[in-house]
Structure 1
Amino acid sequence: MGHQSGDNLLIAAAGRMKKAIRENDTVIRIGGDEFVLILSGFKSKEELIVLLNRILEMLATPFMFEGQRVSLSASCGATIFPEDDSSISDLITHADAAMYVAKAKGKNTWVIHANQDNGNKTAGLVSLRNTLK
């Protein structure tokens, strides 16, 4: 699979993520196979967890791409604002660090940055890395 084909597959993956999230949420490709998702309006941490699991499930479903069945795995790291009361840059850094912890745990998993509690959540920031199998 060439570079352009890989890009097209990542565009298809972004499309699946957009289908998994809500209308007011955002998917941003920040480079390579990394995406940032800006999610808002959670009433609980559990709502974020349900959404993270839905994203991973949708990405784990094989793609039919250029006549081939292609599987992706993903690692998600999340942080929650305002509990993680940091600058935008630090929020991305925290979500990215959590994503690397998730990646070390194995494929198709997520980790929420450790500064979180179980109170009301107004926004989540998710860093996501896709890996071609």
Structure 2
Amino acid sequence: MKKNLLLMLGMLLLTASIFGTSYAGEIFRLAPGVQNMAMGGTGLSFAENEAAGWWNPALVSLQSQSGVQVMRANHFGGLLQQNQLSLALGGKVRTSFHLNHLSIDKIKLTTLENPADTLSNFNR
């Protein structure tokens, strides 16, 4: 009985991710790299990319040349814009620099129906 209960609990935990919301964990997909994002958000072992320092800083030492990469992407149906700049610099001693800018547009500024009253379900 105890074994069956543990088995059912284990199966329930394994299938819990099916019921996740559509945007759960999406914030972790906001990483730089045009090639990396085109390959499904990979980049942990791809050294020949200016954004390699974001994914795995050890890969910067394996890069053969310096470079610049600029990326613009829209997320959440165009609500969130991501602008990214990646630099890979140096010769024998290499370094990597990343600037990631996130902006949200199209959010309407509203006022309370009755500014003299406090915020509540009846005053939004």
TM-score (norm 2): 0.37
Judging by fraction of residues, say which structure has more helix. Answer: 1
| Bigger Rg over Cα | 2
Judging by fraction of residues, say which structure has more strand. Answer: 1
